[in-house]
């Protein structure tokens, strides 16, 4: 059990820590402000600009499309295509699975699903 003295002592320690952190932040800010100067140029001044080479990376491009939301803020996923099939042979049985591309997803996000469950749920995909 903690007595009120211990609690008061901990509150005082926390207050001192906060005060010291604030002092350190203020000191750092004053150092940064002293070294910061606003640059002003006039016509005819020669200025050296250092530019970084920018490489376009298509992985950082975000593609979006509108999705119709249900009242509970969920949306319906439907399979768009079967990309691949495989059969895993076990000792006593074989398991058929297929790689499915879902609506609102890109090729890299395709998932492996059990073929029999997909036939049950989406028979129109196999017609």
Q: Is the pTM of this model over 0.75?
A: no
Report how many domains make up the chain: 2
- 8, part of any domain: yes
- 71, part of any domain: no
**What are 108-121's pLDDT values in tens digits?**
889 999 999 999 99
- 55, part of any domain: no
**Domain extent at residue 28:** 1-37
**What are 16-28's pLDDT values in tens digits?**
999 999 999 999 9
Domain CATH code at residue 119: 2.40.50.40
Three-state DSSP string of 45-103: CCCCCCCCCCCCCHHHCCCCCCCCCCCCCCCCCCEEEEEEEEEEECCCCEEEEEEEEEC
- 50, part of any domain: no
DSSP state of 44: T
- 47, part of any domain: no
- 98, part of any domain: yes
Low-confidence ranges of the chain (pLDDT < 70): 1-2, 54-63
């Amino acid at each position: 059990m903690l007595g009120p003295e211990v609690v008061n002592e901990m509150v005082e320690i926390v207050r001192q820590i906060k005060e010291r952190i604030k002092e350190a932040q203020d000191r750092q800010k004053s150092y940064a402000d002293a070294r910061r100067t606003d640059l002003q140029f006039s016509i005819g001044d020669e200025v050296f600009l250092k530019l970084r080479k920018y490489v376009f990376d298509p992985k950082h491009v975000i593609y979006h499309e509108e999705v119709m939301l249900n009242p509970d803020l969920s949306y319906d996923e439907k399979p768009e295509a079967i990309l691949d099939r495989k059969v895993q042979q076990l000792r006593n049985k074989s398991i058929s699975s297929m790689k499915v591309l879902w609506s609102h997803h890109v090729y890299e996000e395709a998932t492996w699903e059990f073929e029999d469950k997909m036939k049950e749920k989406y028979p129109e995909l196999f017609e």
